[in-house]
Amino acid sequence: MKKLVASLSAGALVLAGLSNSALASPPTAPPRHPTAVGFGGAVASVDPDATNIGLDVLRRGGNAVDAAVATAAALGVTEPYSAGIGGGGYFVYYNAKKHKVFTIDGRETAPATMPSDAFIDQRTGKPYAFADAVTSGVSIGVPGTLATWDSALKQWGSLPLGKALEPAADLAERGFVVDPTFHLQTMENKARFAQVVPTAKLFLPNGDAPQVGTLFKNPELAATYKLISRKGASVFYRGPLAGEMAAVAQNPPKTADATLPFYPGYLHTGDLASYKAIDRTPTKVRYDGLDVYGMPPSSSGGITVGEALNILQPQHLGQLSTTQALHTYLEASALAFADRGAYIGDPAYVDVPQKELLSKGFGAERSCLIDPQHAATKPVPAGSPDGKYSPCAKGSAAEQRPDTEGRSTTHLVAADKWGNVVSYTLTIEQTGGSGITVPGRGFLLNNELTDFSFAPVPTDPNTVAGGKRPRSSMSPTIVLRGSKPYLALGSPGGSTIITTVLQTLTNRVDRGMTLPEAIAAPRASQRNTASVTAEQSFIDTYGAALAPYGHTFTPAGAPGSSAAEIGAVAALEFLPGGAILAAAEPTRRGGGAAGVAWPR
C-alpha cells in the first residue's frame, strides 16, 4: 500500500515537471484510441487524459476502484460540463473474490425544505419554463459524487481518497488541450454562462469560449481537489465550502445585466451535512444465459433495461431479420418505458414493485403485446405488475409525462488484473449543469432536480419532495457469464441512456456484432412517444424499412449540434484467455478513449 502511494506521488511530480518543460512548445492532446486489447486491466471513457490517468493507476498497482475514482476525478477536469464533484451518479462494482456485484447510489437529493410545488410559478400557477429552471438555484440538488468516491474507496479501494485525486489535481493545474467537443459545448452554453459571474470568469476567458488547440487550466479546481486530499470528503459537506455552495444556490451570482430569472434554491448547509451515499442491492435479470446486473432505484435504469430484456427474451431477437429485430427492440422499449413512468421513483418515498417489474411472468405478459408487423399506437399504457399474469393483458391507461432529463452526463468502465470491474455513470445533468460555478472553487453545480416532474401529481412516483432523490435513467451495467465478467458498459444521454445500453447489449448478444460494432451502430430511442428519436444515420439506414411497420422518426438534434448524437458508450469485454477488450465511441462526442494496462 505505502509503495503504491509513494509511486503515484512520484508520478504526479514527474508529470508536473514535464508540463513545465512543455510550455515552450504548442500543447499536444494525447491520441484517442477507441479500442484496445490486452492484459493487466483496462479503462475506457470519453477522454484520453482521464483514461490515461486510470491506466497509470492500474500500472502502479492500483485496483479497478482506485482507477475508476482517479478517472472520474480527471473527467471532472476535462468534462466539467458533464460531471464533477458538483453532481452525482451510480457506481456498480464486481468483486472478483466474492463473485458478487455491489452498487452505490450517489444520486443528488432535494433539499429538506423543498416543497412539492417548487417548480410552479406562484404568479401564474403554471410550471416554470424548463430552460429557466435549468439555470437557477431551484434546480440544484445536494451533490453525491464525492461521497460516492469516498465510500467506494473505503469499501473496496487500495488508495485513500487524497491519493486517488492527486493525478486529477495535477491535470487541472497543468491544463488540457481544448478539443472541438469542449469548444462546441462552451459555445452552446455561452449565453447562459455569460450571465453567471464566476462561470463567465472561468469558462469564458476574455468573453469567449477557449479556442480549439489551446491549453485550458483550472487552478481553482486543482486547489479544491488538494483541499479535499488534505482534509477528506467531510470538508466538502461541512464548513466553509458547504456554506459557499448553499449561498450560491440560494442567491445565484448573476451579472447585473442578466436576463434569466435565476430562481433561488433551497439548498442549506444542513442538507450537505446530512447527505449519505447508499449501498443498494443491484437489479438482476437472466437473458440468453447471461446474468445482467444494473442499478436499482433511485435510478430507473436497471429495472427498465432489465424489463425490456425480459420482454425481448420470448421474441428470440437473434432469429429475426435486421428490420424485424429493430422493430421488436423499439416496441419492447416503449412498453418498458410505460412501466418506468408509472411505477419507478425514490424507494424511500415510493413503493416500487421491483420484483414484479423484473419477473419473467410480467415480461412475458408485456412481450405478448408486440405485434410482429405493426407498431402500437404510442403512448402505450402501463402494465399491471401484480403477480397475476395472463397472455397479452392490456394494462391500464397512464398519463405520459414529458421527459426533461438532460442528455449530458459521462460514463467510464475499469477493470484490474485481479478481475474486479467497475461500471460508473456520473453527471451534473444538463450540459453545463445549473450553469452556476462555486466562486473560487472551479466546479459547476448540478441541475439534477429538473429530473423531477414539475407539476405535483399524487399518483406520480417522481413528484418533488424534500430529501427525495429524483428518478434517473443512468444505467451502469455489468454482465456475467457464469460467475465471471463478460461485459461492462454504460452511457450518458438522459433517458436515452436506457435505450443506448439496451441497443448496445442486443447488438452484441443477439445480432452478431462485435463490441466495437455494437457501439458504433446507428441509434434510435423509443421512450413511449409517438415518434422515435433517432440519429440521422439510423433514419437514413433503417427509416424506410421500418416505415411500413408504422414507425416515424424525429432527428435527435440539429446537424452539427451535440444533441444530434445519442449516447457515448464506454465498455469492456472479457475475452477467453484473460485478455480484455476495451471499447469506446469511434466518433460520437469526438471519439472516446480506450486503453489496457499492457497491450497484447
| Per-residue pLDDT reduced to its tens digit, 529-552 | 999 999 999 999 999 999 999 999
**Cis upstream peptide for 379 (omega within 30°):** yes
Closest by alpha carbon to 473, among 45, 148, 136, 90?
A: 90
- 3-state class (DSSP) for residue 104: strand
559: confidence class by pLDDT, cuts 50, 70, 90: confident
15 pLDDT higher than 70? no
Tell whether 518 is covered by a domain. Answer: no
DSSP 226-277: HHHHHH-THHHHSSHHHHHHHHHHHS--B-TT--S--------HHHHHT---
Statement: residue 3 has pLDDT above 80: no
In a domain, 347, yes or no: yes
Question: What is the pTM assigned to this prediction?
Answer: 0.94
Which helix (H) or strand (E) is 100 found in, with range? strand 100-106
What pLDDT does residue 398 have? 55
Is 447 part of a structural domain of the chain? no
Is 409 a residue of the active site? yes
* The pLDDT value given to residue 562: 79
Residue 309 belongs to some domain of the structure:
yes
Give the structural domain span for 392.
303-399+526-532+551-560
Residue 581 counted as domain residue: no
**pLDDT value at position 14?**
35
| pLDDT-above-90 percentage for the chain | 90
Catalytic residue among 409, 431, 500, 506: 409
| pLDDT recorded at residue 561 | 83
At 287 the pLDDT is: 98
Q: What is the mean pLDDT of residues 278-282?
A: 98
pLDDT at 506 over 90: yes
Within-domain flag for 339: yes
pLDDT in the model for residue 31: 94
On whether residue 379 sits in a domain, the answer given is yes
Count CB neighbours of 529 within 10 A.
16
- Which whole number is the average pLDDT over 512-518? 97
For residues 193 and 135, is the Cβ–Cβ distance under 8 A? no
Per-residue pLDDT of 453-495, as tens digits, reads: 999 998 999 999 999 999 999 999 999 999 999 999 999 999 9
588: in domain: no
Amino acid 401: pLDDT: 57
Q: Please tell me whether residue 172 adopts helix, strand or coil conformation.
A: helix
Q: Work out the average pLDDT over 143-163.
A: 98
The pLDDT of residue 7:
46
Q: Is the pLDDT of residue 1 over 90?
A: no
CATH number, domain at 314? 1.10.246.130
Q: Count the domains in the chain.
A: 1
3-state secondary structure 106-167: ECCECCCCCCCCCCECCCCCCECCHHHHHCCCCCCCECCHHHHHHHHHHHHCCCCHHHHHHH
Backbone angles phi, psi at 59, to 5 degrees: -65, -25
